[in-house]
Amino acid sequence: MKLSALIQGPKVVFVFLALLTCVVARTSAAGSDFETSRPSLPASLTAIEVIAPEEGDGGVDASSPAACSGDIIAQSRVDALIAALCAESLDESFLNLSRGDDYDYPGFYKYSDPRYLFVDREHIFSNRRFARVYEGLRALNSDAQYVLLKGYLDHYRAQLSDIIAPFMLSSRRGERPESHDVLIRITEVEGCPPTFYGTRYALQSIALLSGMLGNTRMWPDLREAFQYPLYAMPLDESAYDDLTIAHFKDCPIFPPAIQADTILLMAINCPKDESGDSGFNAALIKPLVTERDVFEFELANFQSRVSEYDVHHNVGGWPVDRTKGMYRVRVVYDGKRLQETIKRIVDAAVGAPVA
């Protein structure tokens, strides 16, 4: 991700400088790095649990001497997003899952190194729209969930095809496209096509949502997509220019870590172990995973004014807002056995990728 793509004008520069001022001031005063530690204790293979709301006031108190301008700006952005999400229908939230901006700010990524295999998971769980869609789907029966999940999986695969269509060699009569901007841009621009960045995260979000809901009817479609991890569908590489294919190889649609999380989540959240018509066999997956391979975290309600991912929590030190309730979720543990765990889960459920 290029710095030039992140800095989109004076407003963002101002936010960046304000947050940087907070970091310097607080680090000098407290002598600490403000990065909270991730949970690392083993967790049992149990389904997602609802954590009841706690009493109290959540969010940045703008009148407090502890609130710097960066905290106030970040809180304002969160409050505006929460208001927009409350006004959205579930379909609108699904359609907006490809808004790339929401996966980057006000989230603050402790593991932003691209070599960290679960960086995609961090971006997705930091997006309040993801939590809003999850809460909306929880209220539906499994058949209604499937209709939406399947429909939007198809929608975003079609959107991905549209995004890369201009880079087909046959459509350009031997000419190079003017720009690969749509493949590298991370923000939405009015009048421009949707971004690869946001579309990729929308597809990954739908996979993780299917797992969190234990909706095994989604498995045949997800397994097919996982067999083509670079593109989420069959694609003739020779039909596209080298830069386009190189971008997919750097940023596959369904990397093994996302596949493993989806499979594990589906195995521990589906209502029963029988594979049924879907072909998903939770009883096969569960014995492959020990407690050492799993860790749990708490996903905030989308109306939480401060989540564990937010910059005003990780940099500003404001406590997580637990007044709206939380969800306790189990995912693949990012420990020393990471590669082995991912391979074991994916090989059992998906098999080898299709060349």
CA angle 45, 127, 265 (to 5 degrees): 20
Q: pLDDT tens for residues 92-127? A: 999 999 999 898 887 765 555 555 567 889 899 999
Given the structure tokens 């407690």, which residue do they identify? 291
By C-alpha distance, which of 269, 335, 308 is closest to 41?
335
Spatial neighbors of 1 by CB under 8 A, at least 6 apart, are: 114, 186
Q: pLDDT tens for residues 329-351? A: 999 987 666 788 899 999 999 98
**CA 231, CA 158: separation in Å to the nearest integer?**
11
Residue 251 in any domain: the answer is yes
Q: What is the pLDDT of residue 36?
A: 35
**CA 254, CA 62: separation in Å to the nearest integer?**
41
Region of poorest pLDDT, from 23-32, 150-159, 186-195, 213-222: 23-32
Residue 354 in any domain: the answer is no
For residue 300, the SS3 value is: strand
Residue 250 in any domain: the answer is yes
Residue 164 has pLDDT above 70, yes or no: yes
pLDDT band at 204 (very low <50, low <70, confident <90, very high): very high
pTM to 2 decimal places:
0.83
Given the structure tokens 């058949």, which residue do they identify? 143
By C-alpha distance, which of 106, 46, 56 is closest to 77?
106
Q: What is the pLDDT of residue 57?
A: 84
Given the structure tokens 């407003």, which residue do they identify? 11
Residue 259 has pLDDT above 70, yes or no: yes
Give the mean pLDDT of the chain: 82
Domain that holds residue 132: 3-349
3-class SS shares of the chain: helix, strand, coil, % to 5: 55, 5, 40
Total structural domains within the chain: 1
Residue 355 in any domain: the answer is no
- The residue ranking higher by pLDDT, 202 or 341, is 202
117 and 334 Cβ atoms separated by less than 8 Å: yes
Region of poorest pLDDT, from 88-92, 273-277, 283-287: 273-277
Q: How many other C-beta atoms lie within 10 A of the C-beta of residue 158? A: 11
Q: pLDDT tens for residues 7-33? A: 344 444 344 344 444 443 433 333 333
Given the structure tokens 């579930």, which residue do they identify? 90
Residue 323 in any domain: the answer is yes
Sequential DSSP letters for 169-214? GGGTTTPPPS--HHHH--S--TTSPPPHHHHHHHHHHHHHHHHHTT
Give the residue-averaged pLDDT of 281-308: 90
Query: Quick one: tokens of 130?
Result: 């993801």
